[in-house]
Amino acid sequence: MLHKHYHFDSHQILQRSEELVSAASNRYRITVQVAHRAKRRRYEDFENLEDAMMKPVLRAIIEMSDEMTQPEIIGD
């Protein structure tokens, strides 16, 4: 079984995580929120093996920064 690896821009991940931390009123709280989201994603990915290409923490950072910058993707 070959594993596909997504190539991501580490500079972009770093920039997104800095934006999350700077926008948060409490650094600890945002860190815990990212960890909880990553943990949920990990279990979801465990059930759906074909989407388990990107590490859950990276996916959580990307999703949360997208939600912060593009609130229309969250919906009503």
Is 12 among the domain residues?
no
Range of the domain at 50: 23-67
- pLDDT greater than 70 at residue 60: yes
Is 10 among the domain residues?
no
- Is there a contact between 62 and 68 (Cβ–Cβ < 8 Å)? no
Is 31 among the domain residues?
yes
Is 47 among the domain residues?
yes
Is 55 among the domain residues?
yes
Count up the domains in the chain and report the number: 1
d(CA 29, CA 64): 13
User: What's the pLDDT at 33?
Assistant: 93
Chain segment 27-55, per-residue pLDDT in tens: 999 999 999 999 988 877 666 655 557 78
